[in-house]
């Protein structure tokens, strides 16, 4: 492995001169700068950025810890964070926890070991419920999850209100037996279930225990739960799903039973994923402003890094209801 001493020897200069050139220092003669850069290119030298950040107490790397990179929501947020960070001269270290508190702990320790400048973080439900106990040593912005007992920058969706609008849309179009599949591992799924129940009660409908289920936010779990409800004695006439993976699972179950959307069963979900607009009929959903969520989180983190003492902010963004064919009005409303 080529060292800075090798570069200095090849260029005929001191290691201090090499360091000044690599740091874009101004007090280096042009001919020396050219010799150093030529030696760097010839030897293929790569600076040890971790060691440099430890020496300078400054890092140009931020961490991004997401709960499930397979979820298109987090994929889109990751891209927006990376774009914003790159434009400001920062790189991004991405970790995926799979909603596992043990992996989460390992990655938070990794962020400290890597001396990152700060972290954008979607915590597990266990961590979100007592976030202040973490005592994180770096600037932090929380995305997508409500946290308690913590004074921290957060970027959230209006989950309760968005779920209310989706459910109210179904009711207004004549659906009455609306089942809810909500992610069990995050505050997001619970907030969306609250919005679903709030809409039912506002329209004089009683939530049915057999039509409400918390499940792991995975396609397979959504499929299994939806299939069980479809095969029950009183199947629903619509599915409300709290994320696109559960929505895909419900769609798979509906198709397996050869039911027609929306004549036999309606379907709504969250997130403007590619498949939702390509299936027939396309799926009614809440489109989250993922670019804005990721960009805002990155901007808040960079502001926090630059000014650690500034007041914390909570940014709540609004989802957009996209009405499509999966919730076409029924000819007549059925009973509860």
Average pLDDT (295-324) is 95
Look-up: residue for tokens 């499940």?
215
Write down the pLDDT at residue 55. 47
Domains of the chain: 4-47 (1.10.260.40), 59-157+290-317 (3.40.50.2300), 159-288+321-327 (3.40.50.2300)
Mean pLDDT for all residues in the chain: 91
> What is the arithmetic mean of pLDDT over 77-104?
93
* Count of residues making up the chain: 336
pTM (two decimals): 0.78
Spatial distance between the Cα atoms of 206 and 202, rounded to a whole number of angstroms: 10
Is the confidence at residue 51, as pLDDT, over 80?
no
For tokens 């990376």, name the residue.
82
Structure confidence at residue 74 (pLDDT): 94
- The predicted-structure confidence for 101-147, as pLDDT tens digits, reads as follows 999 999 999 999 888 999 999 999 889 988 988 889 999 999 999 99
Give strand pairing partners of 142: 121, 154
Q: What confidence score (pLDDT) does residue 54 get? A: 45
């Amino acid at each position: 492995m080529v060292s800075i001493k090798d570069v200095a020897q090849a260029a005929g200069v001191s290691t201090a001169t090499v360091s000044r050139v690599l740091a874009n220092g101004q007090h280096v003669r042009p001919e020396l700068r050219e010799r150093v850069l030529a030696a760097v290119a010839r030897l293929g030298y790569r600076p040890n950025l971790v060691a440099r950040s430890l020496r300078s107490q400054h890092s140009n790397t931020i961490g991004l810890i997401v709960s499930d990179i397979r979820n298109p929501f987090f994929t889109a947020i990751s891209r927006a964070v990376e774009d914003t960070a790159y434009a400001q001269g920062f790189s991004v270290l991405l970790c995926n926890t799979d909603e596992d508190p043990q992996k989460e702990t390992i990655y938070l320790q990794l962020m400290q070991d890597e001396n990152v400048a700060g972290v954008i973080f979607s915590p597990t439900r266990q961590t979100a419920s007592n976030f202040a106990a973490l005592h994180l040593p770096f600037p932090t912005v929380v995305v997508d999850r409500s946290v308690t007992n913590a004074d921290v920058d957060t970027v959230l969706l209006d989950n309760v209100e968005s779920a209310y609008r989706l459910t109210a849309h179904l009711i207004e179009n004549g659906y009455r037996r609306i089942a809810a599949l909500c992610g069990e591992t995050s505050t997001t799924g619970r907030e969306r279930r609250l919005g679903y129940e709030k809409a039912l009660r506002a329209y004089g409908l009683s939530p049915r225990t057999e039509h409400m289920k918390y499940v792991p936010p995975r396609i397979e779990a959504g499929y299994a739960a939806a299939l069980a409800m479809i095969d029950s004695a009183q199947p629903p006439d619509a599915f409300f799903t709290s994320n696109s993976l559960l929505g895909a699972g419900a769609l798979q179950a509906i198709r397996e039973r050869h039911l027609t959307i929306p004549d036999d069963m309606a379907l709504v979900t969250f997130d403007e994923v590619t498949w939702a607009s390509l299936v027939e009929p396309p799926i009614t959903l809440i489109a989250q402003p993922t670019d804005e969520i990721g960009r805002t989180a990155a901007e808040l983190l960079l502001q926090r890094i630059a000014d650690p003492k500034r007041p914390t902010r909570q940014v709540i963004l609004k989802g957009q209801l996209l009405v499509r064919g999966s919730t076409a009005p029924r000819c007549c409303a059925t009973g509860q």
